[in-house]
Amino acid sequence: MKLDLLAFGAHPDDVELGCGGTIAKTIAEGKKVGIVDLTQGEMSTRGTPQLRALESQAAADILGVSFRENLNFKDAFIVNDHKHQMEVIAVLRKYQPKVVLCNAIRDRHTDHAKASDLVSQACFLSGLRRIETHDGEGNPQTAFRPQHVFHYIQWEELTPDFVVDISGFLPKKMEAIRAFKSQFYDEKEEGPQTPISSLNFLESVASRAKNMGRLIYKDAAEGFTTDRLLGIENFDSLL
C-alpha cells in the first residue's frame, strides 16, 4: 500500500491533536492516509496501554485512515539511534508515503522533539540505497524517500511556516480527540488531573485552529513547520 500521507506520533493522540483536521481533509479528497504511533503512551498519568489502544482505534475509525500501527518504542524514553531509525525506515519503505507529518520540533514533552528528530532523520536515511532493510517476510526493501516532511505544532505556540485550511473538518478533529476519553476532559471521567485533562486545554485546541483560520480568512487551520525551503509553481497556488 503506497500512501499519500503518513502521520507519526510519539504517543497515541499526538496526531489527532496536531494534524487531525489535515488528515480528515486529505482522506475526504480521496487520498490514502496512515498513522504510526511510536509508543503505547504507557507512562501517561491517566489510562492504561490497553485502553489507549482501544481509544486509538476509535479515533482512527473516526478519521477514516487506512491503518494505524504502533512500533512499541519505550514511552518517555524515545531514542534517536540506529535501532530505532532502522525500524522507522522499514515503515517508510513499506508504505512509501509522499508526505510525512511528525511531532513538533520543540515542545513541553521531551518525547516530542526526540520523535521529531527521529522521524525526520529516518526519512532522509530511508533514501540511501546502501542501508538495507527487509519487510515482514524477509524480502529486501527498496530505498525510498518521502517528497516532504512537515512538523505539526503541539503544546508550544510555535510560529508555523505554513498553515492548512481545515474549514469544515474541525468538528471531526475534535471528535477524534474526544475518543481518548482517558486523556482529555470528560465530565464522566474521574482520575488525577493533568495539563491536558482540563476543559480549558480541550477548548484551546479548537481555539488555536479557529485563530489560525482567522489569520488566513478561513474558518479553521492547522500550522506546520518545515526543515527546508518550500517552493510554489505560481501565485495561484496561494489561498
79 C-beta neighbours (distance < 10 Å), count: 12
CATH number, residue 149: 3.40.50.10320
Tell me: the pLDDT tens digits for 20-68? 999 999 999 999 999 999 999 999 999 999 999 999 999 999 999 999 9
- Outline where 145-198 has alpha helix (H): 170-178
pTM of structure: 0.97
Query: In sequence order, what E strands does 135-195 have?
Result: 148-152, 162-165
Domain that includes residue 34, residue range: 5-237
Number of domains in the chain: 1
- Distance, CA of 126 to CA of 85 (rounded, Å): 9
Tell me: the pLDDT tens digits for 155-190? 999 999 999 999 999 999 999 999 999 999 987 777
- Distance, CA of 191 to CA of 187 (rounded, Å): 11
Query: In sequence order, what E strands does 128-215 have?
Result: 148-152, 162-165
